């Protein structure tokens, strides 16, 4: 049986660049950006962005900081 993620109607017709992963593990964001997704990194002690590989699109100290950056970048979505 196929995974629900591979057949999700909310992502099936989106381009990879329209998907954004928010994580507090830098390796997850590296993988997401390498796959063509956007990524947000919530900083925690010991998990600063690395100097190698693709960098996260958004970086913040907490989820609120990432959300503020998304709202700033996509104001029409915030008012919908």
- pLDDT beyond 50 at 7: no
Across the range 3-9, mean pLDDT stands at: 48
Residue 80 pLDDT > 80: no
How far CA 74 is from CA of 19, 21, 31, 62, 71, in Å, comes to: 13, 16, 23, 19, 5
Per-residue pLDDT of 12-58, as tens digits, reads 556 888 899 999 999 999 999 999 999 999 999 988 999 989 999 99
Q: Domain 16-78's class?
A: alpha beta
Q: Against a cut of 0.95, is the pTM above it?
A: no
Confidence of residue 3 (pLDDT cuts 50, 70, 90): very low
| Rounded (10°) CA dihedral 42, 43, 47, 49 | 80
């Amino acid at each position: 049986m196929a995974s629900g993620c591979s057949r999700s109607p909310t992502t099936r017709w989106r381009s990879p660049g329209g998907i954004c992963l928010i994580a507090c593990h830098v390796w997850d964001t590296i993988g997401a950006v390498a796959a063509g997704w956007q990524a947000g990194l919530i900083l925690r002690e010991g998990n600063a962005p690395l100097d190698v590989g693709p960098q996260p699109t958004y970086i913040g100290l907490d989820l609120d900081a990432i959300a503020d950056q998304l709202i700033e970048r996509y104001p029409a979505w915030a008012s919908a």
